[in-house]
Amino acid sequence: MASSEEDGTVEEKENNNKKRTKSTLATAWLTFYNIAMTAGWLVLAMAMTRFYIQKGTHKGLYRSIARTLKFFQTFALVEVGHCAIGIVRTSVIVTGVQVCSRIFMVWFITNSIRQIQSEESVILFLVVWTVTEITRYSYYTFKLLNHLPYFIKWARYNLFIVLYPVGVVGELLTIYAALPFVRRSGMYSMRLPNKYNVSFDYYYCLIVVMLSYIPLFPQLYFHMLRQRRRMLHGEVIVEKDD
């Protein structure tokens, strides 16, 4: 009996050590990731500011920062993986929707349709994204380091109240501006007849994407408001099961 108890104790200790090692590695990776992403969006902010100071106009700004923007925004797909494997306790669906909608805006709207790259709406959502991401990633970094300044926490859970709706307006106006060019060019569309016997119209796809903001935006926005009440005011939010 003593031997089996000792074996059980040893096995339990080994499991605990493995869990601690995994937790330490996860924390180290998340800290590195968030520092890198904070730095990346700071580089974007400085590049945009420098361009505007030097040129005195927003025209051409997107093209000047496109490569950096595409890299860091696409790399954010890693966050879906963080949720999926459980090292970050956030909904995979919520994270996936947010990240993929951003990637869609970058690759399939702004990057693909050069005629809209100098639209004011593009600059609008870029500025909002940049401020939001610098705040968000710096918040996660300081939190992981157990040294979270209150003003960072305050910014994380207050700035979105204005930035989130403004960013959505910028995104919707950008998609709207893209519609005429998409319709004329027929880009990403498939017409019948074709060997796949499939029809797809990117123009109507974009309209559906715009309409999807109607149900999705309130859900994500009120989710953030609930998080704000919990983090800043200590309210316990009870989520109802579906």
> Is 52 among the residues known to form the active site?
no
Cα 158 to Cα 152: distance, rounded to the nearest angstrom: 10
SS3 label, residue 200 = strand
Give the closest residue to 103 by CA, choosing from 123, 80, 120, 124: 80
Report CA dihedral (168, 221, 95, 65) to the nearest 10 degrees.
30
Single-letter code of the amino acid located at 27: T
Write 33-37 long-range contacts (CB < 8 A, 24+): 33/78, 34/137, 34/138, 34/140, 34/141, 34/144, 35/137, 35/141, 37/72, 37/75, 37/76, 37/133, 37/137
The C-alpha angle with vertex 186 and arms to 122 and 171, in degrees rounded to 5, equals 20
End-to-end CA distance of the chain: 48
> Is 164 among the residues known to form the active site?
yes
Q: How does 156-167 read in b/e, with b if 16+ C-beta sit within 10 Å? A: bbeebeebbeeb
Residue of 33, 171, 202, 203 with catalytic role: 171
The token duo for 45 is 């902010």
Residue 202: count of CB within 10 angstroms of its CB: 20
Catalytic residues, by residue number, are 164, 171
